[in-house]
């Protein structure tokens, strides 16, 4: 008995089961391709961004921007693209990006959940319809005769839909749990890398604040330098000139000396 014969003997319930199985298989392959692409390069990208952030924040942001095809890169790039935000804003950017990326990772879960719930029920419905059709063709007088041989065969064929529904649900459930495990692991990676990046930024922010307190003029006017030696004001200059004039002796005037000699 091949697949086409099983499909034909399974009854009308096999049609929706076929649709559910196609949806489930398509979702499984799409999710597998998604996880295969992002998992191998994830650890290397996180280490590069965190190591670079300790030396150059602009370069770390550029590395994260170049790897934005990966969820972890988009997660790290969200706060790095901001222009020197406060630590609280930096943390909010990390949390918002994590929620968005984790939600995208759960894409397709609703389809698998629906298949897991509906497939066994459709299989059971096909079996019930097959039993009704098989038992409805005999009467009490046919019991114990050769007329009941077809009934037993029909009952066996009606169970095909139940088996098909269970197979579809079991396969879907297996991959659903696998993908859920990937999402939980990604949540741990996001939390660990986010905490490390936030700690590094808080240290950078504290250092900037300390520099601003030591050199307040620099924080107010970018590009200026502190002057350690103040220039003398005009009042000091005038005082100095008056002191110099007062120190001079009027007897040293040559005109006055000439007048005295004449007299």
Q: What is the pLDDT of residue 145?
A: 56
Q: What is the pTM of this model?
A: 0.72
Q: What is the pLDDT of residue 207?
A: 87
Q: What is the pLDDT of residue 81?
A: 92
Task: Report whether 48 contacts 154 (CB < 8 A).
Answer: no
Q: What is the pLDDT of residue 259?
A: 47
Residue 11 zone, left/alpha/beta (φ > 0; ψ -120 to 50; rest): left
Q: How many CA atoms lie within 13 A of 109 on its CB side?
A: 13
Full DSSP string of 105-143:
HTTTHHHHHHHHHHHHHHHHHHHHHHHHHHHTT--GGGT
The conformation of residue 193, written as its DSSP 8-state character, comes to H
End-to-end CA distance of the chain: 155
Q: What is the pLDDT along the chain (263 residues), one digit of tens a residue?
A: 677 777 777 788 899 999 999 999 999 999 999 999 999 888 999 999 999 998 899 999 999 999 888 999 999 999 999 988 899 999 999 999 999 999 999 999 999 999 999 999 999 998 888 888 777 666 555 555 555 555 666 677 778 899 999 999 999 999 999 999 999 999 999 999 999 999 999 998 988 888 877 766 544 433 333 333 344 444 444 444 444 444 444 445 445 444 444 44
Give me Rg for the CA atoms of the chain: 43
User: How far is it, in rounded angstroms, from Cα 105 to Cα 84?
Assistant: 29
Q: What is the pLDDT of residue 59?
A: 93
Express each pLDDT in 100-155 by its tens digit.
999 999 999 999 999 999 999 999 998 888 888 777 666 555 555 555 555 666 67
Alpha helix ranges (H) inside the chain: 3-9, 14-53, 57-66, 71-80, 87-105, 109-135, 149-214, 216-220, 234-247, 254-262
Measured in residues, the chain has a length of 263
Residue from 108, 42, 93 nearest 71 by CA: 42
User: How far is it, in rounded angstroms, from Cα 238 to Cα 257?
Assistant: 30
Q: What is the pLDDT of residue 257?
A: 45
Tokens representing 78?
């969200």
- Domain spans in the chain, listed from the N-terminal domain onward: 11-137+148-208
Task: Report whether 85 contacts 93 (CB < 8 A).
Answer: yes
* Positive or negative torsion for Cα 101, 104, 105, 109: positive
Query: In the block, which residue shows the tokens 């859920």?
Result: 180
Residue from 197, 201, 194 nearest 96 by CA: 194
Q: What is the pLDDT of residue 232?
A: 42
């Amino acid at each position: 008995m091949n697949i086409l014969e099983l499909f034909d003997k399974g009854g009308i319930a096999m049609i929706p089961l076929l649709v559910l199985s196609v949806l489930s298989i398509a979702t499984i392959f799409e999710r597998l391709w998604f996880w295969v692409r992002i998992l191998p390069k994830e650890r290397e990208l996180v280490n590069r961004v965190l190591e670079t952030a300790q030396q150059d924040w602009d370069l770390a942001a550029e590395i994260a921007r170049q790897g934005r095809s990966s969820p972890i890169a988009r997660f790290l790039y969200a706060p790095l693209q901001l222009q020197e935000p406060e630590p609280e804003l930096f943390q909010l950017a990390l949390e918002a990006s994590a929620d968005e990326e984790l939600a995208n990772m759960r894409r397709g879960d609703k389809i698998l959940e629906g298949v897991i719930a509906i497939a066994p029920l459709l299989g059971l419905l096909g079996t019930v319809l097959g039993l009704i059709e098989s038992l409805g063709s005999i009467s009490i007088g046919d019991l114990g005769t050769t007329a009941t041989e077809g009934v037993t065969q029909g009952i066996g064929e009606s169970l095909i839909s139940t088996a098909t529904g269970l197979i579809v649900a079991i396969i879907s459930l297996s991959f659903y749990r696998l993908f859920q495990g990937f999402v939980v692991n990604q949540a741990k990676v996001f939390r660990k890398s986010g905490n490390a990046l936030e700690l590094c930024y808080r240290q950078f922010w504290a250092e900037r604040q300390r520099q601003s307190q030591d050199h307040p003029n620099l924080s107010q006017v970018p590009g200026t330098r502190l002057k350690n030696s103040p220039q003398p004001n005009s009042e000091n200059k005038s005082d100095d000139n008056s002191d110099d004039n007062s120190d001079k002796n009027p007897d040293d005037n040559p005109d006055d000396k000439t007048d005295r000699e004449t007299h």
